[in-house]
Structure 1
Amino acid sequence: MYLTKEVKNEIFKKHGGAEANTGSTEGQIALFTHRINHLTGHLKNNRKDYNTERSLVKLVGKRRSLLDYLIKTDIVRYRAIIKELGLRK
C-alpha cells in the first residue's frame, strides 16, 4: 500500500506539528496533496479508470474547501502551506 502508517505520521509530524495532531488543517491539506499526487500518477498509466478519476476530483474538492477555510481564518498559514507544498491557485 502506498500510504502506510509511517508515511502518515511523517506527514502529520512535518505539517501538523505532531504525529497525534491529525485534525490540523495543514496536516489534512498535506495528506490530501500526497494522495492527489499518487492518484494523478496512477491515472497517467490507467486512463480509463473512472472510479479513481472520480476519487481524485472529490479529493481536489476537499482540499480546495480546506484551503478556502484556511484563507478565511489565517492568511499567513495559508501562504505558508501553499509555498511549502508547491501549490498555486
Structure 2
Amino acid sequence: MYLTKEKKAEIFKKFGGSDSNTGSTEGQIALFTERINHLTGHLKNNQKDYNTERSLVRLVGKRRSLLDYLKKKDIEKYRSLIKELNIRK
C-alpha cells in the first residue's frame, strides 16, 4: 500500500500535533491531500479508471468541506495550512 502506518503517523504528527491525534481537522486535511496527490498521479497513467476518478472527486469534496469548517473556525490556521500544503484557493 502506498500509505503506510509510519507515513500516516508522520502526517498526523506534523499537522495534528501528535501521531495519535487522528481526529484533528488539520491532520485529516493533510491526509486527504496526500491521498488526492496519489490518486491524481494514478489517473495520469490510467485515464479510463472511472472508479478512481469518482473517488477522487468525493475526496476533494470532503477536503473542501473540512477546509470550509477550518476557515470558519480559525482563519489563521486555514491560511497557514493551505500555504504549507500548496492548496490553491
Distance 1:45 1:54 in 2: 16
**CA distance in 2: counterparts of 1:11 and 1:20, whole angstroms:** 11
**Partner deviation per Cα, 1:41-75 (whole Å, 9 max, x = no partner):** 00000000000000000000000000000000100
Runs of 4 or more consecutive aligned structure 1 residues displaced over 2 Å after TM superposition: none
- The AA in structure 2 aligned to 1:49 is D
Percentage of matched positions with identical amino acids: 81
| Residues 1:87 and 2:77 aligned together | no
1:57 paired residue number: 57
Whichever residue aligns with residue 38 of structure 2, its letter is H
- Measure the CA separation in 2 of the matches of 1:73 and 1:85: 19
Name structure 1 gaps, 5 residues minimum: none
Q: Aligned ranges for residues 23-62 of structure 1 at < 5 Å?
A: 23-62=23-62
- d(CA) in 1 for partners of 2:56, 2:88: 18
Amino acid at match of 1:82: I
Give the residue type in structure 2 aligned to 1:33.
Answer: T
Q: Specify the code of the residue in structure 2 equivalent to 1:34.
A: E
**TM-aligned CA deviation for residue 85 of structure 1:** 0.3
Q: How many residues align?
A: 89
Query: Is residue 73 of structure 1 aligned with residue 50 of structure 2?
Result: no
Query: C-alpha distance in 2, partners of 1:49/1:83?
Result: 30
The CA deviation at 1:88 is: 1.2
Q: TM-score normalised to the size of structure 2?
A: 0.99
Q: TM-score, normalised by structure 1?
A: 0.99
Structural RMSD (CA) = 0.4
